[in-house]
Amino acid sequence: MAGALIIVAAIIGAFVFGVVSYVLMRNQVTGFQRVTVPGSGDVRLVAGQDYTIYFERGQASDELPTVTVTLTDPLGQPVTLSGNPHTGYQLAGRDGEGEFDFHAREGGTYHLTGQEGSGGTVAVGAALAPSIARTVLGPLLIGAIGSIVGIAMIIITVALRGRHPGFPMPAAGTTPYPRTFLR
């Protein structure tokens, strides 16, 4: 009985963890700072953090905008944009694809400019890969570990009952066998 309860608790825990993780990831996407392109705008960033620049489509059927992006730090110096992270999302009515990563050395207001684009939005925020991993792997691990523990308890219970046929498993906190066996 305890094994089955552990399995059920693991399934419920995995579901709750998955829902909470999804909501947190959705809130992360809605919290991205955005600039309409072509155009420019300011984004406030925290020193010492890594960020990703995402290109967002206007509609789900639209092509990803082609944009030339420049970013300057609070001192007016160009920020090096690297890589092509390719982490995409379709959350909270937004559809975007990660294009560049960068590190904010200074905290403050950064200026982002998007030029020669086909239109759309440029979003700036923390990388989504860790949130995606947490949302997918967390529930799987909780469900798997809980199920393994529950199945192990069921197997142990069946094995113990097989050794002592005719004796029910003792209730919690009681002596496992009649006193005659303990003398």
Q: How high is the pLDDT of residue 167? A: 54
Beta-bridge partners for 98: 54
Give the three-class secondary structure for 153. Answer: helix
CA atoms within 13 A on the CB side of 44: 1
CA-CA-CA-CA torsion for 45, 137, 23, 13, nearest 10 degrees?
A: -140
pLDDT of residue 119: 66
Q: Is 59 helix (H, G, I), strand (E, B) or coil?
A: coil
Question: Letter for the amino acid at 41?
Answer: G
Look at residue 170 in the predicted model and tell me its pLDDT: 61
Task: Name the one residue in this structure whose structure tokens are 């995606």.
Answer: 132
List the end-to-end C-alpha distance of the chain, in Å, as a whole number.
30
| DSSP character at residue 126 | S
pLDDT, mean of each 10-residue run, the chain (183 residues): 90 95 93 91 95 80 72 95 80 87 94 79 89 92 94 87 63 60 50
